[in-house]
Structure 1
Amino acid sequence: MPAQSAEQLWKAYNETTDTNGASYQTRWFGDQKNPTEVQALTDAVLNGTKTATTTPLDTYTNEQVAIPQPGDYNVLLNGDMKAVAIIKTVVSELIPFYRISAEHAWHEGDGDRTIGDWRKRKEEEFTPSLEAHGRSLSSDTPMVSEVFEVVYRAD
């Protein structure tokens, strides 16, 4: 039975695992204003297609949000902003845009999963937000490259 809230899901997970006092943040992938997109990305995480993500470093700086670190926990929210799983960051690296690997692109699970398609999609995705903050996307733009795993599911 799915948990009612992030707090309840985290409590249920803690009853099965010793997290050594770790805390969690809530998280979703995609634009919160587009629940269909968020749900599709949540489904990709839950079915194992999406096990990685990339975000411009400037996004963390502009939003004053901590960069994910290995061992961080997040309660994954679906398109309805309901808690559905807990994911744990396994790897977090700072890498220039054009040094993101084909393997990482594959694990992001977007499009045809090739590095060429990934670069095209990410240029379209990242350019508007970078430009809104007076930046532009270049081959050297620092990216936070993250790998995560699902460690607990509400179902």
Structure 2
Amino acid sequence: MATPAEHMWNEFVEKNNITKGNFQTRWFGQQDQPDEIDRLNDLILHGQKRSTSKPLAYYAAEQEAVPQVGDYYVLLNGEMKPVAIIQTVVSELIPFLRVSAEHAYNEGEGDLSLEDWRTRSSKKFTELMSNYDSKFSEDDPIVTEVFKVVHSEG
């Protein structure tokens, strides 16, 4: 029996005649903070949040693949139920201090400025990397990703 995420994916593939590709499940925010996941999903589903970023060292620590252009993800809500499918359209490795104002704006959080993004992201990345007994530096490379919603339940 297919999981709800597999069911959503299978319907999407059939409707759009996709012959290649598979998906992973994904959510934005910490899994133990479902309200934050739902808040971020609302930003994504309303078109305000179109990008994200994480330190490259995070992917190595998690042994997780860096998002690649064309990758599909079934987006999960705070209850870990599927709400949409997103696709990566840009994936770049950029030094933290070279992340653009456009990328910061497209992350859709805070006041949308580069200065605010740097302040929030430096704090967030420092906390994130401390989970792996690693320090974050503003010289570190960051994976910046732009995605689009290709299917949603609503």
Percentage identity across aligned positions? 49
Residue in 1 that maps onto 2:43: 44
1:31 to 2:21 alignment: no
Residue in 2 that maps onto 1:153: 152
Deviations 1:57-116 (A, max 9, x none): 111100001000000000000111110100000000000101100000000001000001
How far apart are 1:15 and its partner, in Å?
1.7
Q: Distance in 1 between matches of 2:22 and 2:49?
A: 23
Residue in 1 that maps onto 2:104: 105
Residue in 1 that maps onto 2:93: 94
Residue in 2 that maps onto 1:71: 70
Q: Is the 8 A contact 2:122 2:138 kept in 1?
A: no
1:62 to 2:70 alignment: no
Q: Distance in 1 between matches of 2:114 and 2:89?
A: 21
How far apart are 1:134 and its partner, in Å?
4.1
Q: Distance in 2 between matches of 1:132 and 1:48?
A: 31
Q: Which runs of 5+ in 2 are unaligned?
A: none
Q: Distance in 1 between matches of 2:136 and 2:112?
A: 21
Amino acid in the other structure paired with 1:94: L
Deviations 1:101-151 (A, max 9, x none): 000000000100000100111111110222343433223201100000000
Aligned residues: 152
Per the normalisation by structure 2, the TM-score is 0.94
Per the normalisation by structure 1, the TM-score is 0.94
Q: Secondary structure at the match of 1:143?
A: strand
Q: Secondary structure at the match of 2:148?
A: strand
Q: Distance in 2 between matches of 1:129 and 1:40?
A: 19
Q: Is the 8 A contact 2:26 2:75 kept in 1?
A: yes
Q: Is the 8 A contact 2:104 2:112 kept in 1?
A: yes
Q: Secondary structure at the match of 2:32?
A: coil
Q: Secondary structure at the match of 2:19?
A: coil
Q: Which runs of 5+ in 1 are unaligned?
A: none
